[in-house]
Structure 1
Amino acid sequence: MELTTVWFLVIAFLWTGYFVLEGFDFGVGALLPVLSRDEGERKQMLATIGPVWDGNEVWLITAVGAMFAAFPVWYSGLLSGFYLPLVMVLIGLIVRGVALEWRGKVTARERVLCDAGIVTGSVLTAFLWGAIFGNLLYGTTAATVLGGALSLALAVLHGAVFVALKTAGPLRARARRAALAVAVAALPIAVVALPGLPSAGQAGPNEAAGPAYQAGKAGVARVMGTADAGWTSHPLLWVAALAAMTALAAAVALIWRRREGWAFTATAASIVLVTATLFGTLWRAPLPGLTVAEAASGPYTLGILTWIGLIALPFVLAYQGWTYWVFRRRVTA
């Protein structure tokens, strides 16, 4: 296997880990005013993610760093093409992080502002990630909104199941009911969004894309001296998309049966499968008119990165696994 392929898979793995782990963080933050009835329950909800939320963001830092080193053209193209939404993502993460850190150190009145920051940062960031990738694949407003809606719905569902898994008493019961309600919205969105994902851009990409998108695609091809690379469709991508919808349906059944652990596994699996479908679709052309091979660094750089990854990645995975094991028990009031 070529190092270009290896590092594309590594980056896909890192983004998948980020979306799975930070997904329930976003969901818990978005549901903070919905599920909690008093300050004690708000603290209980935030305690479920308190030990892990900052560690989960390491996955994002690592994924972006790996893209910068292994695929600099891909990195720069995304940054320039999605500058405004990525800045908004950064603002959302900063506001959310500051609010989470300061909440326990301020007065009751200031805690209201912190709660607003947590909710706003969580909802905004969860929506924008889906919107960015939806626009990258299709280049249309409808796909942007649909991608954001799917990303937000999956995060909120994942977070609701996580709260039900990690808490007890009335809060657990409300989280379970909220998960069922969110699933009612998430399933139709997934049914609309996922079947078209594996074939995104097959026409060249999407002829319905706006003129700015088409001009950008032509510009990349002109600068790189490449022909239109288009996105690809593979039978395994269709299998992954259908499996993601099946996992969502299974999560609903498991929540109904009060099997929160298995339900959380199902929602995590659906996010993994959606992300796998996304990166599988991007495999031939991570940007319009740009192939993976053209976006990659040279063999020498990729070789050095491989040695660094082989040394560092196992320690990161082991530490985070240990953290989740230590804080595996339910949080009580």
Structure 2
Amino acid sequence: MDLNTVCFIMFSFLLLGYLLLEGFDYGVGMLLPFLGESDREKQAIIQTIAPVWEGNEVWLIAAGAVLFAGFPHVYATLFSGIYLALVLMLVTLILRGVAFEFRDQNNNPKWRRFWDWAIFSGSIIPSLLWGIVFANLLAGLPIDGEKQYAGTLGDLLSVYSLTGGLFFALLFLLHGTVFLTLRLDCRFMLQIGKLGLATSKYALLLSVGFILLSFLYTDLAARLVPALALAVLFLALLFCYRRLQEQQYALSFMFSAAAIISAVSAIFTGLFPRLIVSSLDPDWSLTVYNSASNPLTLKLMAVTMAITLPAVLTLEVWKYHIFRERVAVNTSDIESLLWEQLHCQLQKIRTHLGNLLTVISKGKKVLDSNVLRLDKAPATAMAKELQEFRGLIRYGHQMANLIARIISMLRK
């Protein structure tokens, strides 16, 4: 493996890490104006990402540094050709960072509402732009023989690019929603779970359109690895939807993360060895070879990242381990605190009841098959015991369903 490929893998990995970690930050930011009735509840929502969002931005800075040092022609072409889109992304990200710091500096509701919408804008606009940029990189940009962008801003907008933008926005929204089910106060779990269920359904439907358009507008269908990655993307979203239906939120988060990994993997494996596809002439595409720095720079970049990347990964694991507990709403209302504890316990009981019903159903099938074989035989002690045991299982099944209905009524 040559140094050009190594630097491409490093850039892909860093950008994947950014989108995977910052993805749920985007999703939480998009939900902020619409979730939580009181300001204390909104503060709790912000607190779920407040300790980690700045660290997540480091991945983007590192990816930009690798692109600048390793593939300067790609860096120059992107920032000279689609600079308006990239500047808009940077401005909204900066505005979102300012909003996190300024929001709580004044108790005026209008002040806080303004910064809530700033966080929303700084989350949804970059999400849309990431999808648009990725779709254009795959479908092709008007790059001429001088490695210059020869189009206009309107050339970035097409059916495929807009579908990619909407799909990535929904993907990040789903990732953030499932993240909140694991990190936010238990009293929000039912509301966020229903929201995640609806989001996953729309993301699943839109993924079909994105995959079909990817096969139509790009050459991904002719490549085995990206085609398989797109298939995994669809399956990950499908499993995420099913796990949300069963309220298995930890597994849902794993599958939403797998969906992002699959989508980004499909894009970069579909591009390699290209970095920007030229829609004017395939020979004018920018690749890891015709746009790379000199070998010494690539070697220094590879050695530097090989030393620092393990330390960064260790720090990330430690950071998320420290901030793994749920964020509770800051309130002195004893009734709210008791409801939070009751809600968590009811959720645990409901999970155990689901497992119990599964075991009872399987046991009932086995016993029914044994009893049917013994019905034709003379009455024996074993047959009588099986009949009694089947009656107990039927009674347990009825009681478990009754308790589940009572819990559902209490949760409402």
Same fold flag (TM > 0.5): yes
Cα displacement (A) at 1:200: 4.7
Give the conservation status (yes or no) of the 8 Å contact 2:128–2:165: yes
Rounded to whole Å, the distance in 1 between the matches of 2:238 and 2:254 is 12
Q: What secondary structure, in the 3-state scheme, does the structure 1 residue paired with 2:289 have? A: helix
Give the conservation status (yes or no) of the 8 Å contact 1:232–1:281: no
Q: Name the counterpart of 2:321.
A: 325
Cα displacement (A) at 1:196: 4.2
Cα displacement (A) at 1:173: 1.5
1:236-295 per-residue CA deviation (whole Å, 9 max, x = no partner) reads 111110001100010011111111111101000000000000011111321122222111
* CA 62–20 in structure 1, closer or farther in 2 if over 3 Å, else same: same
Rounded to whole Å, the distance in 2 between the matches of 1:156 and 1:30 is 7
The partner residue of 1:280 within 260, 269, 276 is 269
The one-letter code of the counterpart of 1:149 is L
The partner residue of 2:171 within 130, 140, 154 is 154
Q: Name the counterpart of 1:114.
A: 115
Give the conservation status (yes or no) of the 8 Å contact 2:180–2:192: yes
Q: What secondary structure, in the 3-state scheme, does the structure 1 residue paired with 2:286 have? A: coil
What is the RMSD of the two structures over their aligned residues, measured on CA atoms?
1.5
1:68-114 per-residue CA deviation (whole Å, 9 max, x = no partner) reads 01111111111122111001001110111100111122222311111
Rounded to whole Å, the distance in 1 between the matches of 2:101 and 2:118 is 11
Task: Tell whether 2:168 aligns with 1:138.
Answer: no
Structure 1 segment 7-18 matched on structure 2, within 5 A? 7-18=7-18
Task: Tell whether 2:312 aligns with 1:316.
Answer: yes
* CA 195–241 in structure 1, closer or farther in 2 if over 3 Å, else same: farther
Give the conservation status (yes or no) of the 8 Å contact 1:232–1:284: no
The one-letter code of the counterpart of 2:116 is D
| Number of residue pairs aligned between Structure 1 and Structure 2 | 305
* CA 201–252 in structure 1, closer or farther in 2 if over 3 Å, else same: closer
Q: Name the counterpart of 2:42.
A: 42
Higher relative contact order structure (alpha carbons within 8 Å, sequence separation ≥ 6)? 1
1:10-38 per-residue CA deviation (whole Å, 9 max, x = no partner) reads 11111111111101000000001222111
The one-letter code of the counterpart of 1:258 is Q
Q: What secondary structure, in the 3-state scheme, does the structure 2 residue paired with 1:293 have? A: coil
The one-letter code of the counterpart of 1:238 is A
Q: Name the counterpart of 1:87.
A: 87
The partner residue of 2:211 within 178, 191, 194 is 194
Give the conservation status (yes or no) of the 8 Å contact 2:52–2:319: yes
The one-letter code of the counterpart of 1:137 is L
1:289-320 per-residue CA deviation (whole Å, 9 max, x = no partner) reads 22221111121111111121122112111112
Rounded to whole Å, the distance in 1 between the matches of 2:60 and 2:287 is 23
The one-letter code of the counterpart of 1:183 is S
The partner residue of 1:255 within 240, 244, 257 is 244
Task: Tell whether 2:295 aligns with 1:306.
Answer: no
Rounded to whole Å, the distance in 2 between the matches of 1:232 and 1:146 is 18
Q: What secondary structure, in the 3-state scheme, does the structure 2 residue paired with 1:76 have? A: helix
TM-score, scaled to structure 2:
0.72
Structure 1 segment 161-310 matched on structure 2, within 5 A? 161-197=178-214, 200-202=217-219, 233-287=222-276, 288=278, 289-310=285-306
Give the conservation status (yes or no) of the 8 Å contact 1:32–1:42: yes
Rounded to whole Å, the distance in 2 between the matches of 1:10 and 1:59 is 11
Structure 1 segment 22-37 matched on structure 2, within 5 A? 22-37=22-37
Give the conservation status (yes or no) of the 8 Å contact 2:160–2:214: no
The one-letter code of the counterpart of 1:135 is N
Rounded to whole Å, the distance in 1 between the matches of 2:99 and 2:180 is 19
Rounded to whole Å, the distance in 2 between the matches of 1:318 and 1:196 is 38
Give the conservation status (yes or no) of the 8 Å contact 1:35–1:171: no
The one-letter code of the counterpart of 1:42 is K
Give the conservation status (yes or no) of the 8 Å contact 2:160–2:217: no
Cα displacement (A) at 1:199: 6.8
Rounded to whole Å, the distance in 1 between the matches of 2:222 and 2:298 is 27
The one-letter code of the counterpart of 1:138 is A
Rounded to whole Å, the distance in 1 between the matches of 2:48 and 2:269 is 33
Cα displacement (A) at 1:52: 0.2
> 5+ residue gaps in structure 1?
203-230
